[in-house]
Amino acid sequence: MRSLLGLLLLLAGSAVPVLADPVQPPVHQTVALSGPGSVSIEGGGNVRSNVRVTGWSQDNVQVDVTTAPADRDKVNVFLDSSRSRVSLQVKGAGSGFFMSGGPSATVQIELHVPSASKVAIEVVTGSIGVANVNGPLVVSSVNGDVTVSGAGPVLKVETVNGKVNATVRSSDAAPRISIETVNGDVTLSVPKNFSTPVVTHTINGKIENSRSEGQGAGKASVSTVNGSITVRS
């Protein structure tokens, strides 16, 4: 899981450089894009980040970051943008990167993005929910459940500890779908006319796969170490 290495670097305090001068939540900002663009979200550094991303028909990104009043001074929000991209980082203030044994604050991160955007989400601790984003979508988490609905033909989900529930809306002839977790059940739902066979693998758990056969191109795979897998239409 290559991108999970980046999450572990977040835990160690060696993440990618911060984007701009930090601000404290609440943050409510709208960024105009010239098209679908790309959106990246990172949550780490002693903060539990619960992320919700929803695709909409507008060519702008609405960013809302909130936390409890008592936690505002514990959180730094970094936002950087251009006409083609939005980058958001949420971290704990100071040097705490889980050194004290757990998140010191909980942050709610909610974004509305153009539905065709390229979206990448990396979270150390917290739940992730994505709806109606049909552009390329990459989701990585260390601790937390992941729920994806209305995904397009390019979807990659990686988590260490957490359940994954993903629904793919696209019946593209050559999808690229990869879901991997270490500890957690996985459910993947695809359209009835989805023609690409779904390859599944688990070490400790049951597999129910009604879409193991097909003549379609592309690749679709689901794997876990400790957990059950369900693939259905």
pLDDT digits (tens, 9 = 90+) for 170-180: 878 899 999 99
Mean pLDDT, residues 34-44: 94
Which pLDDT value is given to residue 7? 52
Cα separation of the two ends of the chain? 27
Whether the per-residue pLDDT at 100 is higher than 50: the answer is no
Q: Which two tokens stand for residue 82?
A: 């251009």
The pTM score is 0.89
Query: Which residue in 228, 230, 186, 185 sits closest to 211, CA to CA?
Result: 230
